[in-house]
């Protein structure tokens, strides 16, 4: 099985909850103290983050919670890289499905590493009851079967979240190489990790890790809401027809990719 790390603020009551869930399955985890950037004074925080880089990409600076989140995960990657073993990183508000224990933990490390450096096991701010419609809107391109898992790359991988992900040792080394220095990106800006760091980022279907955002209010979400502009209801309604059209186009692309893959398998090219 993979090593399991849980990132949590020291003294958080969430620790006991997720520790019990894992212990009930006969599993242990290693808690990693999250970094609380809210405790920094202005000068110390300015040294840690790059607001200009963040504003150029997101139209706003990063909140202290977002900077602390990135720093917390980045501080854990060296341990995984040194271990030479793949690991699963969870945040302490993670809720775990049975498939997490029965399928993900028993998947071959070498098989996963052959397909990805990082596999996202869940998605931020997604309730279980909305998962099926999300799978419709966000299909995977060229999904691959790895053991009992389906993994692939979705059309949209923007801020998919970091509530739970698998990362290989080599993936941790890649992440460290490109994500050093002042923090000017969101941790879950996975396209940036892909394009800037060369990481192969895949997602799991169906998801097996869920964020308990409805019962556990996140300090990151609170501080981010202050800095972000909210979309109006009218704007959201105007987008709905476009989303339906976009979804149809995505599934057409998936069908074409599947047809191409089947044809290549049936009629392989010979040198």
- Judge if 92 and 134 occupy the same domain: yes
- Judge if 175 and 98 occupy the same domain: yes
Question: Measuring CA to CA, which residue among 176, 163, 164 is closest to residue 87?
Answer: 164
The CATH number covering residue 112 comes to 3.90.550
Tokens of 265: 């398998």
How many domains is the chain built from? 2
- Judge if 224 and 235 occupy the same domain: no
Per-residue pLDDT reduced to its tens digit, 100-155: 999 999 999 999 999 999 999 999 899 999 999 999 988 998 889 999 999 999 88
> For position 237, what pLDDT does the model report?
67
Per-residue pLDDT reduced to its tens digit, 214-259: 886 665 555 555 555 665 656 566 667 877 888 888 878 878 877 7
- Judge if 246 and 215 occupy the same domain: no
HSE-CB of 109 using CA atoms within 13 angstroms = 13
Per-residue pLDDT reduced to its tens digit, 155-166: 887 778 899 999
- Judge if 55 and 155 occupy the same domain: yes
> For position 270, what pLDDT does the model report?
46
* Integer Cα distance of 196 and 236 in angstroms: 31
Burial profile 40-64: b = 16 or more Cβ within 10 angstroms, e = fewer? beeeebeebbbbebbeeebeebbbb
- Judge if 127 and 87 occupy the same domain: yes
- Judge if 70 and 80 occupy the same domain: yes
> For position 230, what pLDDT does the model report?
61
- Judge if 84 and 188 occupy the same domain: yes
The CA-based angle 58-33-48, given to 5 degrees, is 40
Q: Is the pLDDT of residue 202 over 70?
A: yes
- Judge if 44 and 170 occupy the same domain: yes
- Judge if 32 and 159 occupy the same domain: yes
Per-residue pLDDT reduced to its tens digit, 61-70: 999 999 999 9
- Judge if 226 and 264 occupy the same domain: no
Reduced to 3 states (helix: H, G, I; strand: E, B; else coil), residue 38 is: helix
Per-residue pLDDT reduced to its tens digit, 160-197: 889 999 999 999 999 999 999 999 999 999 999 999 99
* Integer Cα distance of 106 and 26 in angstroms: 14
> For position 271, what pLDDT does the model report?
47
| Helix and strand numbers, DSSP H then E, in the chain | 11, 10
- Judge if 170 and 148 occupy the same domain: yes
> Which pTM value belongs to this model?
0.86
Domain containing 220 equals 3-230
């Amino acid at each position: 099985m993979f090593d399991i790390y849980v990132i949590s603020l020291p003294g958080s009551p969430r620790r006991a909850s997720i520790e019990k869930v894992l212990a009930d399955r006969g599993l242990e985890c290693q808690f990693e103290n999250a970094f609380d950037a809210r405790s920094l004074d202005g000068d110390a925080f300015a040294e840690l983050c790059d607001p200009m880089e963040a504003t150029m990409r997101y139209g706003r600076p990063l909140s202290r919670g977002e900077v602390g989140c990135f720093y917390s995960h980045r501080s854990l990657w060296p341990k995984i890289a040194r271990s030479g073993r793949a690991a699963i990183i969870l945040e302490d508000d993670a809720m775990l499905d049975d498939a997490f224990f029965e399928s993900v933990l028993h998947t071959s490390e070498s098989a996963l590493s052959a397909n990805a450096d990082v596999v996202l096991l869940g998605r931020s701010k997604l309730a279980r009851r909305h998962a099926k419609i999300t799978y419709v809107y966000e299909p995977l391109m060229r999904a691959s079967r790895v053991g009992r898992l389906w993994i692939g790359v979705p059309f949209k991988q923007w801020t998919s979240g970091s509530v739970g992900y698998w990362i290989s040792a080599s993936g941790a080394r890649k992440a460290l190489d490109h994500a050093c220095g002042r923090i000017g990106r969101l941790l879950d800006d996975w396209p940036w990790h892909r394009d800037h760091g060369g990481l192969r980022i895949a997602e799991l279907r169906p998801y097996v890790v869920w964020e308990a955002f409805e019962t556990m209010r996140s300090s990151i979400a609170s501080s981010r809401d202050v800095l972000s502009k909210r979309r109006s209801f009218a704007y959201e309604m105007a987008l709905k027809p476009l989303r339906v059209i976009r979804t149809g186009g995505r599934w057409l692309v998936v069908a074409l990719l599947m047809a191409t893959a089947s044809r290549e398998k049936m009629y392989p090219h010979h040198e």
